[in-house]
Amino acid sequence: MAIGIGLVGTGTVGGGCIDIIQQHRESFKQHFGIDIELKRVCSLSVDEARARGLEGIFTKDYRDIVNDPGIDIVIELIGGTTVARNIVCEALAAGKNVVTANKALMATHGKEVMELAGTMKKELFFEASVGGGIPIIDPLKHSLIANRISTVMGIVNGTTNYMLTRMSEDGLDYDTALREAQDRGFAEANPTADVDGLDAAAKIAILASIAFNTRITIDDVYAEGIRSIAPLDLEAARDMGYCVKLLAIAHRKEDGIDVRVHPTMLPLTHPLASVNGVFNAIYVVGDSVGETMFFGEGAGAGPAASAVMGDVLECARHLQAGIAPLVGCTCTDTVPLVAMEGLHTKYYIRFAVADRAGVLAAMANVFADHEVSVHSVMQRGTKGEGGKVDLVYVTHTACEASVRAALSDIVKLENVVCAEPSLIRVEG
Amino acid sequence: MAIGIGLVGTGTVGGGCIDIIQQHRESFKQHFGIDIELKRVCSLSVDEARARGLEGIFTKDYRDIVNDPGIDIVIELIGGTTVARNIVCEALAAGKNVVTANKALMATHGKEVMELAGTMKKELFFEASVGGGIPIIDPLKHSLIANRISTVMGIVNGTTNYMLTRMSEDGLDYDTALREAQDRGFAEANPTADVDGLDAAAKIAILASIAFNTRITIDDVYAEGIRSIAPLDLEAARDMGYCVKLLAIAHRKEDGIDVRVHPTMLPLTHPLASVNGVFNAIYVVGDSVGETMFFGEGAGAGPAASAVMGDVLECARHLQAGIAPLVGCTCTDTVPLVAMEGLHTKYYIRFAVADRAGVLAAMANVFADHEVSVHSVMQRGTKGEGGKVDLVYVTHTACEASVRAALSDIVKLENVVCAEPSLIRVEG
């Protein structure tokens, strides 16, 4: 008998899932012996269902799905952490297996829902919550488990990667790049979740939890967006052999897990450096495997539906074989987090300063006082309006707290700094 | 009770596996609840085992492993298709599960061993046979199965990719690049398997079989190596915005599967174009997921052992859960192959020709006679020795048979072509 599927949320990704089921159901039977049947769809509006001839299995109440004894797997695609949380929890409690694309839910209430799934001995899959169609959660939970992972680092937000690519390659400023991304449907009218790094923060919380076997929530992630990135910084980066990417970073350090999202300078030779436009990629380093990278389309109906339906088919395969979940929550350890102030990395800092004698010396003294060792300092461009010039510093590895203290003191110097300095952390 | 492991072959990869088991056994128990124990190692020489304190579980006879009732999983790492085939078949017949890194075995006797595993209801895993540590077989058998795959294409031989990178970036010729690769341990003393594309052919046979649900063996794969690639071709490619890679290619076309290995011109914007040095990457296109790519280290003790041990742990997980194999052979269809003569693609062709009037016209006539439409023709460099110049043609999409016929006729023209033409197919 076919495995019954209930779908909650018939938007872009839900539509993609319906397409896949309608087009490939026979292929799944033939090639994998997996038979799935879409038994019910839930949405706030009947129009989408009607357009696809699914009116007969349409409902506005998700409880009709959760309580349907013919449904084995519930797909949750409405997003958010309120109603979605109820759907996922009620479905699990009712003995359903769940597949979700909900990054916010997993990064906020991951512990609760994974534990509930464990108690109920049901599957809870969420491949689509990170990186769209890119298989990354499954490889971390299966193929790569012989490794001790030291780094998971990715471009996991296509909107900002598109904007940074346009700013870097074509010299657009932030506002123009954002407007273009909005016009092309890559950015929301309210772009906060993307441009302030919150979307990426949820995703790295999920990846880091799996890679390091310790629960990390979105609130644990330091997040800084791309609003203050100027074309001048992208230009300076390129001249130094770097690009600027909004990276979601998680490192295992001696004293704990360091997890953060911020614009990052990356050498052009790094595998992530050539990931442009709306593409996503996740770079993983393990003690045996060395460097690996998983690349693909991070958003859109097709890619996300590919991940959702991959999970659905795997779940259906398990159900048909009559087996209990093989991998549940893997957060078996409690590893401390490294506070942002304790971060040690290299820094790019650009100051707009008064172009006069003594400025360089005054700044150098402050850096020295805070034990921030400067690797290079360069003047960019020619003297601008009002006798200002841009000074670009790159530090040696330094402590975040010291760099912040130095910046704070430099800004206070009399008649030196003319605008908020621009700070970009450097990887590799 | 721990899952018993028997390891046959204690060379580079086998040593990597022993390292992983010795270093991470406790971690596997703690994080995944998987307990594996290395019960016996087989090798022709006791030295390796002695060096690792494994003398007590050493044997020279693989039958001691195959017949040991305490062993659940046999790891075959000796390679080749003779003894290795016996080991794999005897192990399966004796009710053991098997993990192998053996591309030649899988690409030659894949049907036999997969069917035997199916009959015996035992696992046969082979992630390490393609792409070293890169998870690719598992994603194709799990995460990506909601897709109809149209293309699997990869850089799956690190030796030739290293050589081509050095030739392209630093102007080395083929012989110098090969010697350097040999000196650095990237190429064998007899480099045939690598430079003639045979290693890559075995790997694409394996990937295509999975991606297209049809059995493809190494003998089905057209293979052409990199021996005839000249620095001049790499230079011309770069000037046109292309790079040259030894690609293993499998496309699903209307009339069947097109599977081949040859040097290929690829636009510099293609995700595979920035995969340099000994790195490998496999690019997969599916109808839902769109473009994806899996990147990493394609060879070496660590990466290959990561893949082998990932398989071992997955197999052990299944055994501990008491479940039968979930995915066996997926070659459910019989899809015809497209003969190489019927291939339609674009071609780069370089001729060393006599620098005299009428040459261009004579060649143009031959191309026209064979209905090969020329996109561009360019003279490279200045007149060389003996009044020769290089003419670089790029065709529109043309039929392989027509292009070969045209080349054959052009070579026969009197006093025109001075050396064997250089032909490179163009993708994208």
Question: What is the enclosing helix (H) or strand (E) of B51?
Answer: helix B46-51
C-alpha distances (whole Å) from A126 to each of A205, A307, A420 are 13, 8, 40
Residue A384, pLDDT above cutoff 70: no
Looking at residue B52, its pLDDT comes to 87
DSSP assignment of A198-243: HHHHHHHHHHHHHHTTB---GGGSEE--STT--HHHHHHHHHTTEE
State the nearest Cα–Cα gap between B176 and chain A, in angstroms: 24
* Among the partner residues A290, A295, A309, nearest to B271 by beta-carbon distance: A295
Q: Above 70 in pLDDT, residue A383?
A: no
In this prediction, residue B116 has a pLDDT band, given cuts at 50, 70 and 90, of very high
C-alpha torsion sign, points A414, A416, A419, A421: negative
Nearest C-alpha in B relative to A274 = B274
- Interchain contact, A327 vs B32, CB within 8 Å: yes
Q: Please state the φ and ψ torsions of residue A283, each to the nearest 5 degrees.
A: -105, 125
Q: What is the pLDDT of residue B237?
A: 96
Chain B CB contacts of A300 below 8 Å: 290
Instruction: Identify the band that residue B380 occupies on the pLDDT scale cut at 50, 70 and 90.
Output: confident
Of residues A128, A147, A127, the one with CA closest to residue A137: A127
CB contact B277 to A (< 8 Å) = no
Residue A45 has a pLDDT of 86
pLDDT value, residue A98: 98
Which helix (H) or strand (E) is B309 found in, with range?
helix B301-321
* B387 or B63, greater pLDDT: B63
> How many Cα atoms are found within 13 Å in the side-chain-facing hemisphere of A97?
28
| A321 reaches B (C-beta below 8 A) | yes
Per the confidence metrics, is the pTM higher than 0.90? yes
| Predicted pLDDT of residue B107 | 98
| pLDDT given for residue B83 in this prediction | 97
Largest CA distance in chain A: 83
Average per-residue pLDDT for chain B: 96
> What amino acid is encoded at A381 in this protein?
G
- Flag if A292 and B296 touch (Cβ within 8 Å): yes
Whether residue B289 has pLDDT greater than 90: yes
Residues of chain B positioned with their CB less than 8 A from the CB of A138: 138-139, 142-143
pLDDT over 70 at B384, yes or no:
no
Residues A70-114: pLDDT tens digits? 999 999 999 999 999 999 999 999 999 999 999 999 999 999 999
- Residue-level pLDDT at A135: 98
Range 4-33 of A in CB contact (< 8 A) with B:
16, 19-20, 24, 27-28, 30-32
Q: What is the mean pLDDT of chain A?
A: 96
| Under 8 Å between Cβ of A205 and A218 | yes
Query: Does B383 contact chain A (CB < 8 Å)?
Result: no
Residues on chain A touching B31 (C-beta within 8 angstroms): 145, 213, 330, 332-333
Q: Is B162 helix (H, G, I), strand (E, B) or coil?
A: helix
B213 touching A (Cβ < 8 Å): yes
pLDDT given at position A357? 87
A154 in B contact zone (CB under 8 Å): no
pLDDT digits (tens, 9 = 90+) for B175-210: 999 999 999 999 999 999 999 999 999 999 999 999
Whether residues A321 and B317 touch (CB distance < 8 A) is answered with: no
| B contacts of A142 (beta carbons < 8 Å) | 135, 138, 142, 310, 314
Answer whether B144 sits within 8 Å of A294, measured CB to CB: no
Confidence of residue B428 (pLDDT cuts 50, 70, 90): confident
- A116-153 residue pLDDT tens: 999 999 999 999 999 999 999 999 999 999 999 999 99
DSSP B333: B
Please report which confidence band the pLDDT of residue A180 belongs to, taking 50, 70 and 90 as the band edges.
Answer: very high
The whole-number average pLDDT for the span B326-339 is 95
Using a CB–CB cutoff of 8 Å, tell me whether B127 touches chain A: yes
A66/chain B closest Cα distance in angstroms: 24
Q: How confident is the model at residue A176 (pLDDT cuts 50, 70, 90)?
A: very high
Catalytically active residues of A, by annotation: 203
Nearest to A148 among B24, B127, B297 (CB): B24
How large is the average pLDDT for residues A214-232?
A: 97
CB–CB contact B31 A293 (8 Å): no
Q: What is the pLDDT of residue A273?
A: 96
Give percent of chain A above pLDDT 70.
Answer: 99
Instruction: In whole angstroms, give the CA distance from residue A391 to residue B315.
Output: 57
Sequence-distant (≥ 6) Cβ neighbours of residue A47 within 8 angstroms? none
pLDDT at A385: 64
Q: How far from A192 is each of A199, B50, B153, CA to CA, in Å?
A: 9, 61, 38
Q: What is the pLDDT of residues B33-47, one digit of tens each?
A: 999 999 999 999 888
- pLDDT tens per residue, range A274-315: 999 999 999 999 999 999 999 999 988 999 999 999 999 999
> Could you say which of A31, A143, A296 has the minimum Cβ distance to residue B291?
A296
User: CB distance from B289 to chain A under 8 Å?
Assistant: yes
**Nearest-CA neighbor of B191 among B205, B179, B203?**
B179
Full DSSP string of B109-157: HHHHHHHHHHHHT--EE-GGGSSTT---HHHHHTTTTTS-EEEEEEE--
For residue B383, the model assigns a pLDDT of: 64
